A = this chain, B = another copy of it.
Amino acid sequence: MNKILIVDDDIEYTENLKEILDNAGYVNDAAESVKEAMEKLCTQQFDVILLDFMMPGIDGINALGEFKKISPNSKIIMITAFASIENAVRAIKNGASEYISKPFKIEALLLMIKQVIEELRFEGDIKKLKLEGTLSSLSNSIRREIIRMFQTNPKIRMMETARKLDIEDHTKVIFHLKILKEARILKQDKKRAYLLTKEGQKVLECLNILDNYLSEQ
């Protein structure tokens, strides 16, 4: 059930829009000022924010920045009556997902909302895959020890790894190294030495974070 926040000081426009979004199946709320919007964003999670460019007392780009700070995962659609390329570019560069000028066809806005919600879902899926990949890599103790080993050995070859971990069967080590390589946690250089990828460094960090957190009593 996707939630949308309408930020506009034009009450009549807002009421119309609320009804349209309601009929389209969205849960929505409205704020007449940026201050009111920020208050709502502090206590509720919105998927999409429809932000009017011209809000009293604050320029739309500044409001955009403030919202991004409070609600980094929400998608912001900038709406303006005075369209310009410059403002469009500024808005997108400052974190808006989309930019649309009044007057617009309601179908165009609904389509845009649908698209940004798809983006949101896609980003959520990527995040889930990252988490699953990380947890899957860390769930096996040999792989944990391998990943930990890179804390003190930034580059290491396969047999060296087996010796450090005191594992005699080299194919066991290869199997787990292969899993980590396929998960893009490790890569190999020309001499076949293994190194952590950027992603792999994050996984090592997660392991350290968990170690430290669980050490606290």
**Does residue A161 face the partner (Cβ distance < 8 Å to B)?**
no
Contact A131 B206 (CB under 8 A): no
Q: Are A214 and B131 neighbours in the complex by a CB distance under 8 Å?
A: yes
Give complex CA distance A140, B72 in Å: 27
A209 touches B205 (CB 8 A): no
| A195-214 contacts to B (CB < 8 Å) | 202, 205-206, 209-211, 213-214
Q: Is the CB of A132 within 8 A of B141?
A: yes
Given A135-B139, A136-B139, A141-B132: A127 touches B215 (CB 8 Å cut-off): yes
Q: How far is the CA of A27 from the CA of B209 in the complex (A)?
A: 29
Asked whether A134 is an interface residue with its Cβ less than 8 Å from the other chain, the reply is yes
- Copies of this chain present in the complex amount to 2
Beta-carbon contacts under 8 Å, A102-153 to B: 127, 130-132, 134-136, 138-139, 141
Whether A211 contacts B135 by the Cβ 8 Å rule is no
A207 CB to nearest chain B CB (Å): 9
Specify which of B136, B202, B205, B214 is in contact with A127 (CB 8 Å cutoff): B214
Contact between chains at B206 and A210 (CB < 8 Å): yes
The residue from B127, B131, B211 contacting A131, defined by CB atoms under 8 A apart: B211
9 examples of A-B residue contacts, CB within 8 angstroms = A127-B215, A131-B210, A131-B211, A135-B138, A135-B139, A136-B139, A202-B213, A202-B214, A206-B213
| 8 A-B pairs closest in CB distance | A139-B139, A130-B214, A135-B139, A135-B138, A206-B210, A131-B214, A209-B209, A206-B213
Besides A139-B139, A202-B214, 19 new A-B residue pairs in contact (Cβ under 8 A), listed by A number: A72-B215, A127-B211, A127-B214, A130-B214, A131-B210, A131-B211, A131-B214, A132-B141, A135-B139, A135-B210, A136-B139, A202-B213, A205-B213, A206-B210, A206-B213, A206-B214, A209-B210, A209-B213, A210-B210
